[in-house]
Amino acid sequence: MKITDIVKILDAQVVVGGEDMNYSINHGFASDLMSDVLTLEEEHLILITGLCNNQTIRTAEMANISVILFVRNKQVSEDMIELALENDIIILSCKYSMFKTVGLLYENGLEPVY
Amino acid sequence: MMHTEFTVVEGDFANAGKASSEIKKTLKQLNIDNQKIKKIVVAVYEAEVNAIAHAYGGTIYVDLDEEKICVLIKDKGPGIPDIARAMEKGFSTASAKVREMGFGAGMGLPNIKNNVDELDIQTEVGVGTEIKMIVNFNS
Ligand SMILES: Nc1ncnc2c1ncn2[C@@H]1O[C@H](COP(=O)(O)OP(=O)(O)OP(=O)(O)O)[C@@H](O)[C@H]1O
Ligand SMILES: [Mg+2]
């Protein structure tokens, strides 16, 4: 699924964009527990989370996760944006609940990690 | 042979991950295999967060040569009374504040163990904890 498609499906906002917003992401993982995210072997997936702080970006950095999607209109701080830019991490934000967000993405063909 | 040190401060979640991030940059510059980099930085990051969350901060010592990276995380925190239990998946004494930060699943120590080639934990209640981990580049 192209990042631009994800943005369309969720009526999402691009908080931090990347050079190529047309590349495809195959897998998604939803969690608010960072140590859970840090167990994943799968890389370059989209992390869907309601946890919105520096640690979310750091976790993505360590786990080689290229896209983070915040649900429920979370406010992304300047610090977080800076960290994301430094590490080439794309940040998206949408207004839907976690349940609706993952439902829509699954329905449209985004695959789970497990 | 390269030696670096980092200081981590108790409760300083805003800066948790700085040491792991620096280590990642260094290893990338040295063209170390990406999978090896991920293993060590995930392990160091977990230990870094533990020092910030459960101890009173500490110091991280990094020794790097062509064959391996060795990282020692030393804190003067409360120590771990039952290390076998702490190593179990799901065991956590994390505070509400730590949970709010996205941690406290009780998966950090098992995660460290899964990622490194050698792990040695020395801990004493009331004194502190030392976690030494090694990842070999050529195995
Ligand atoms: N440096 C430390 N000093 C004192 N206690 C520690 C230290 N590291 C871990 N512990 C103890 O061991 C428990 C388990 O640690 P572990 O990292 O596995 O889980 P956690 O930090 O609670 O949650 P998670 O890592 O999943 O976010 C902690 O809850 C804490 O009680
Ligand atoms: Mg932990």
Q: What is the C-alpha to C-alpha distance for residues B99 and B116, in angstroms, rounded to an integer?
A: 25
The CATH H-level superfamily of A3-112 is HprK N-terminal domain-like (3.40.1390.20)
pLDDT at B1: 84
Supply the pLDDT for residue B139.
81
Query: Could you tell me if the CB of B55 is within 6 A of ligand 1?
Result: yes
Q: Write out pLDDT tens, residues B35-71.
A: 999 999 999 999 999 999 999 999 999 999 999 999 9
Per DSSP, the three-state class of B13 is helix
How confident is the model at residue A28, as a pLDDT?
98
Residue ranges covered by each domain of chain B: 2-136
Minimum-distance ligand to the CA of A33? 1
Residues of A in contact with B36 (CB under 8 A): none
ipTM of the complex: 0.95
What does the angle CA A44 – CA A48 – CA A51 come to, to the nearest 5 degrees? 120
Predicted TM-score (pTM) of the model is 0.97
Indicate yes or no: CB of B102 within 8 angstroms of CB of A63: no
- Ligand 1 pocket test: which of B52, B109, B113, B121 has the largest number of ligand atoms within 8 Å of its C-beta? B109
> Looking at residues A90-101, what average pLDDT do you find?
98
The mean pLDDT of A34-63, rounded to a whole number, is 96
Task: Report chain B's mean pLDDT, rounded to a whole number.
Answer: 97
**Quick check: A87 and A4 in contact, CB under 8 A?**
no
The class level of CATH for B2-136 reads: alpha beta
Instruction: Say whether B108 and A35 touch across the interface (CB within 8 A).
Output: yes
pLDDT score recorded for residue B36: 97
Residues of chain B predicted below pLDDT 50: none
Please enumerate in sequence order all residues whose Cβ is within 8 A of that of A71, keeping only pairs 6 or more positions apart, or say none.
Answer: A48, A49, A50, A94, A96, A97, A98, A101
